[in-house]
Amino acid sequence: MNTEPSSAGPEPASLQRIALSLQYEGSSFCGWQRQRNGRSVQAVLEDAIAQLDPHRPVQTFAAGRTDAGVHAAGQVVHFDCSGPIPARKWAPALNGRLPSTIRVRESVARPLDWHACYSATYRRYRYTIHNGRRPNLFLSPWSWHRYQHRLDASRMRDALNTMLGLHDFSAFMKAGSRRAHARTTVQEVLVERQGDLLRVEIQASGFLYGMVRLLMAQLVAVGEHRLSVAAFERRWREQRRHEVKEAAPATGLCLLRAGYAEPIFTKAGWYDCQPWFFLAESDPPPDPPSTPG
């Protein structure tokens, strides 16, 4: 997911490691990771850090590598610096140099052997679906508008529950991944409806390349009764990647947070930082036709 830190010699005594709780609106970026062609969150953040600590090469490491268009409410990033800025002052200093689509909620000092990616025990993603019949301009940048049928949240929940535990999820991994295997542990799942909005949350030890968007498209098919829960489970258990032919849009996906063995940030600066608004039903779509299974 991220490049291993180098095993160089002893670090200067003044070196400090800074951890950031980071938010970004992903639609204007090609993803987290720096790329040759495209504006990445990593490149913009590193440029801002370099303005404040120009005497040291800047390299950032993130808990999760989000793809193009994917948002983050509680991404965790670390970098090393040698300047005089206190850890807690990095957040306001960076916010004064970052675009409005990136915000640092909190900055703290960490030991030099702590790593934003490798020290993480879980990542949690939220996918938001707008299930009302009429479009809503203010929801469209943050959700997937599915208006054809009223989604069956109970069936979607049953389908997700089959994924709990350590499994091979090759069926939900995009081509081009450099991972040696497709095993990961799904720790918690949640499907909740509030009016016309559905939130789906998945917490795992790690995620495969494109995993959440691929499984969300399958999950919506379950909720619309186009795919049975049993067929959903067969697809991932039997690694039927050829049957997973579409991915959900990036707009609905948000990296909610990454977790660690001990608290890193205050709860206000890190936990559930994507607002959740209630949208009452006004004109719900029709119930889907019943299907077996």
Domains of the chain: 16-110 (3.30.70.580), 121-262 (3.30.70.660)
Report residue 177 CA to chain centroid gap. 17
Q: How far is CA 33 from the centre of its chain?
A: 13
pLDDT at 7: 46
Q: Which residues on adjacent β-strands are paired with residue 123?
A: 204, 258
Comparing CA positions, the residue from 113, 115, 116, 151 lying closest to residue 130 is 151
pLDDT of residue 277: 77
Catalytic residue among 67, 80, 152, 196: 67
67 is catalytic: yes
Per-residue pLDDT of the chain (293 residues; tens, 9 = 90+): 444 454 454 455 489 999 999 999 999 999 999 998 899 999 999 999 999 998 889 999 999 999 999 999 999 999 999 989 999 999 999 999 999 999 999 999 999 999 999 999 999 999 999 999 999 999 999 999 999 999 999 999 999 999 999 999 999 999 877 788 999 999 999 999 999 999 999 999 999 999 999 999 999 999 999 999 999 999 999 999 999 999 999 999 999 999 999 999 999 999 999 988 777 777 789 898 876 55
